[in-house]
Structure 1
Amino acid sequence: MTDPQNARGRRTVIALLAATRHIIENDGMPALTMAAVAERAGVTRRAVYLHFASRTDLVTALYRSFAESENLAESLQVVWDAPDAVSGLRAWAAHLVRINLRVLAVLRALEQAQHTDPDAAALWRITQRNWLESSRRVVERLAREGTLAPHLTVDTATDLLWALMSLDLLDRLAHQRHWSNKRLTDQLTATYIAAFVAPS
């Protein structure tokens, strides 16, 4: 039998993370305070501190929750399990559109606040490190299989692929130009293949 107190605690945590995400997405990192989260979640500030000792803990928990709520590991596994390097590059484009568009508002808020907010800066550094490591993994497979464009080194291709993970690009095409996810995925894939894959 489920412990009612534990179940209530889990519901409170879910509500706090949802409130945190709402504030970041709609008002930005400067508006994120423990009091604002408590008000948005409909709980007391004491209830917030029972689950999260600090704002840093709260933001970090939200960031980590994306791995589960957005099925990040499963989405990335499709890239790593692709039958060949070019298929992996195609899967990488689909992964970026599928995942980053869902969390775009939070990522943009972190990016914009990184110079003034230590919590945002720490999480933005983690994001960039993860993106760079994943980009290198995709490129190194292209190189191993002999399909990396001959004018590119692994380092150069890694940097370029990482740079093309631009939030501005996703925001402009998806939200300002109203591209569908399929169109965006198809065009990113075509761009990546033209830029990174050796001609047949």
Structure 2
Amino acid sequence: MAAVAERAGVSRRAVYLHFASRADLVSELFGYVNEIEDIEGRFAAVGDAPDPATALDAFARAHAHFMAAVLPASLAVEREARTDPDAARHWDTAMYWRDATNRALVERLAREGVLAPGWTIDTASDMLLALIANGVTATLFDRGWTPDQVGEHTSRLLRSTFLAPAR
């Protein structure tokens, strides 16, 4: 909270007048970012996609562009979650929603009969969660990839990994 106050140019007390705890501050920060970055709108194309392959493409592109906007904050919360209970609660919530979103996408693949052989809904959901982890995205951005490149190549990876070969 002291670092936030210093960066904002206000007293620590002023920060506590607006946010009762670090958890409140983190929740408000992510709520604000999600609103500004229109997370629901960004990912609407996934649910609206006419077929599973197009849904994977939309997911990969939406995720890449969203992460370009939130990655620094997400990495900070992930790092602090190891030692800060407030950050840990927020991180657990964020991971819950990532997992739920991934699972819904994988369930669609399974429901429409195109989930690649060897995958279950559980294993594919877990793998998808790992593939879109902060560290993976950060590595690609650090190597100079643009959000469009990350989205395009992630889409290619998801299609080749999770879609059954055409008959």
Gaps of 5+ in 1: 1-32
Q: Any conservation in 1 of the 2:22–2:87 contact (CA below 8 Å)?
A: no
Partner letter of residue 93 of structure 1? A
Matched, 1:191 2:122: no
Aligned counterparts, 1:34-183, within 5 A: 35-175=2-142, 177-183=143-149
Identity %: 43
Partner Cα distance (2:43, 2:49) in 1: 10
Q: Deviations over 1:124-157 (max 9, x none)?
A: 1111111110110000111111111122111111
TM normalised by structure 1 equals: 0.78
Length, aligned pairs only: 166
CA distance in 1, matches of 2:130, 2:90: 18
RMSD: 1.4
Whether the aligned pair in 1 keeps the contact of 2:65 and 2:148 (CA below 8 Å) is: no
Higher relative contact order (CA 8 A, sep 6+): 2
